[in-house]
Structure formats: structure tokens, C-alpha cells
Amino acid sequence: MIKKCLLLLFFSVSVFLFAQPEQAKYPFINYAANKIVYAKDSSSMLSFYKKLSAFMKGKEDEIRIIQIGGSHIQGGMWGDELTTNFQNLKQTKGGGFFAFPFKIIKTNSPPYFTSFSNGKWKGCRTALVKNSCENVGMAQITATTNDSANYFGMKILENPHHKNFNAIRVYHNFNKSFFFTIKEQVEFTRKDFEDKGYSLFILKAPVDSITFIMVRKDTSQKDFILYGFDVRNTSEPGIYYAALGANGASTQSVLRCQQFAEQLKTLQPDLVILSLGVNDVQGKVFSSEDYIAHYDSIVSLIRKASPTCAILFNTITDNYVRRKTPNKKSATVEECIYKLTEKHNAALWDIFAVMGGYKSIFKWQQAGLARKDKVHFTAKGYHIFGDMMFEAIMRSYYYNFKN
């Protein structure tokens, strides 16, 4: 009991020290709203806290967190900060992350890894209705090639949370016309799990990058489809974080991902953070009923993949339409998310309230925390989101979890 009280006191003091200079600098942020709100049944979130407690005591090796969203998540800066904070709980570099090869399809990538290839790849994401994407998975985007020979790979960039890895899953479509293997002279073992949609490479020594060489054996089947990399460091405990975000994603576009639940199941998440909705309200027409129905279906897919995981809804960030018009629908979405939280016995982090509510993004933009489009944020803005979400989760953990 004394130990728990000391931990609580330490965390409360650390939160106070963090918040004071931030409050003075950004008085428009509603720090009082930075908390986790629960439905009547909070057992799933308490289960996550139980595992987090076991991790802190050295009884669990890995905590797995998944965040699903649009461009806020694809950009990776929010998740980068969130992951750093969780890793710092035990000053560890284990765990890992999910890495979609954004760079090989010429789109923006998170700051903690990059991807590369000498081949020609095309991307397809379900957020673009004009695209007829087939067999899309949890990343909401695919990379496809028909090259007869090329290489592809990924590299960890300098970051404070992960340095190297000794295992990597390559999610792909198991097209028998193509063969790929590790290009480097490194010792490894390979196991193919076609029923789960990935090939697992276990490396004898840790590396910070990897390259795969691929050849096309015949032309009987076209299209090698790459869904992403699951990068792991199993040599020490740590946090696993998967940013499953694609530019323009909405609740409806997630439901176009045919392999969403099947692939998500392979990650076995402990906590799923749902950060969808900004793109739902950017159009002329928005239906609360449709938005709730779409989210109902997404939650069903998540429960199918991981029946016991905790779900943390986010309201959406305040935003403007075409840079000029404050978006009143954001407040409507806030109401929808509160209803969804109760309906699905989930938890909620009200980022709309934390920002300061309706029209607050103008103040964020004036302070250099948001972009001129008044939809997206600067690196500093996203880092504040990562810090404050972590702060809200940990405060709730220390106050509400019973050992």
C-alpha cells in the first residue's frame, strides 16, 4: 500500500511539473479535461491495467498497443511520443512496432523508420473511393509490384524507443509466382504461416535494417502484395505499438479492408485506440446514425480479432473545412463517441475537449501547434497529444487500478 501511494505521489508530482510550464505557454488547452472517461462496465480497461501492472513488475514481457486512424496516425509523430513515454516506464528498448513501407509507394512515413526498394510499386488505400483495392488488411493500404526482380526492405531511424530487432514478420499474399528471402549475409530461420498471412524471419543477431531480394519465378499469377512488417526485439521486455493509419481514412473506409480482423488477430492487442472521424466530417453530408453504425461494425471486427482487449475511443480533433469554415460537426462526433463508449463498455479520451473545443484549432495554429489547413498538426502539436494521452492513461491507471 505504501509503495503504491509513493508511486501515485511520484506520478502526481511529475504530472504537475510537466503541466505547469505547458499551461503557462498554452492557456487555451483544457488540462482539466485530460482524463480517461469510462462506461459503466470498465472491466476491459482494468484488464489492460492488470497486464500493465504485471509488465511493471517484470511478470509480462510485452504490452501491445494498436492505434487506428487516418493521417494523424500515418504521420507517426503522435505514436512516436506515446511509445517513447511507455518505453520510459522501465527504460527498455524491447517490444517493437508495425511498419508499413510507405516510402516505396511515395507517401509520407513515420519518423522512426523508413522503407526502400529499387523496384516499381503502386499503392492502394481504401480511403480513396475511386480505388478498387483488393485484399486490403489492417494497415488500410497495400504495396503491389509485378517486377521480375527487385529488392525491398526497411530500416529503423534514430529514435528514443526502439534501436534494433531480431525478428520480423513480413505480411504478404503468398503468391506462388514470387519468391523472396533475406539478401544480407545474416543467419536466420524462416517459417511461413500462410494461414495467418505472414512469413516469420528469426535472426541470430539483432539488426537495425533488413533487405529482402525478390524474384518472379513465372507469370501464372500477377501481383505480389506487401501488407507491412511486424518488427520485434524479443531480447528484452518492451512496448509494441502498431500505427494502423492511412491518409484520408474514415470509419467507412476501414470497413472496406477485407482482411482487417484476420490480420489484427495476429497482433493480439492488449489495447486498441480508435482515432477515426476527422475525415468523416470533412464532407458536406454527415450522419450520426451512419457514423455510429460504422463504428459498431469496427468494434465487432476488433472483438472478433481480440475478444478481451481494451478499447479506448478518442473524440476527434477540432478542425476547419477548406481552411476557412469551423467544423460544427466535430461537437456532434463528440456526442456520438460518448454514446459509443457506453454502448461498447469502452473507455474514452476526449481530445476535442482537451484541445479547447469548437474553434480551438485556430489557437493551436496561431501557437505553431497546427498547420495552416487547420486539420493537421505540427510535430510539437502531435507530441503534446502523445504526452497528454499517456498522462491521462497513467493517471487513470494509478488511481483506478487495484492490485
Q: Are strands 122-125 and 178-182 parallel, antiparallel or unpaired?
A: unpaired
What is the tens place of the pLDDT at every residue in 110-158?
999 999 999 999 999 999 866 678 899 999 999 999 999 999 999 999 9
Answer for the pair 23, 31: CB distance below 8 angstroms, yes or no. Answer: yes
Q: Which residues sit opposite 117 in a β-bridge?
A: 152
Count of CB atoms within 10 A of residue 64's CB? Answer: 19
Residues written for the chain: 403
CA-based angle 252:254:257, to the nearest 5? 120
Asked if residues 200 and 191 have their Cβ atoms less than 8 Å apart, the reply is yes
Where does CATH 3.40.50.1110 sit in the chain? 15-92+237-403
β-bridge mates for residue 320, sequence order: 326
Of the listed ranges 42-46, 131-135, 165-169, the least confidently predicted one is 131-135
Which residues is 152 bridged to in the sheet?
Answer: 117, 212
**Percent of residues, the chain, with pLDDT higher than 70:** 93
How is domain 15-92+237-403 classified at the CATH fold level? Answer: Rossmann fold (3.40.50)
Answer whether 31's CB lies under 8 Å from 350's CB: no
Contacting residues for 123 by C-beta, under 8 A, at least 6 apart: 105, 106, 107, 141, 142, 143, 144
Average of per-residue pLDDT values in the chain:
92
Kind of pairing between the strands at 238-245 and 122-125: unpaired
- CATH 2.60.120.260: does it fit domain 96-236? yes
pLDDT digits (tens, 9 = 90+) for 305-315: 999 999 999 99
Kindly give, in sequence order, each residue whose CB lies less than 8 Å from that of residue 300, ignoring residues fewer than 6 positions away. Answer: none
Report pLDDT for 284. Answer: 86
Residues of the chain with CATH 2.60.120.260: 96-236
Asked if residue 360 has pLDDT above 90, the reply is yes
Q: How confident is the model at residue 42 (pLDDT cuts 50, 70, 90)?
A: confident
Mean pLDDT throughout 287-291?
A: 97
Q: What is the mean pLDDT of residues 349-354?
A: 98
Residues 6+ positions from 52 with CB-CB distance below 8 Å: 63, 397, 401
What is the CB neighbour count within 10 angstroms for residue 177? 15
Q: Is the pTM of this model over 0.85?
A: yes
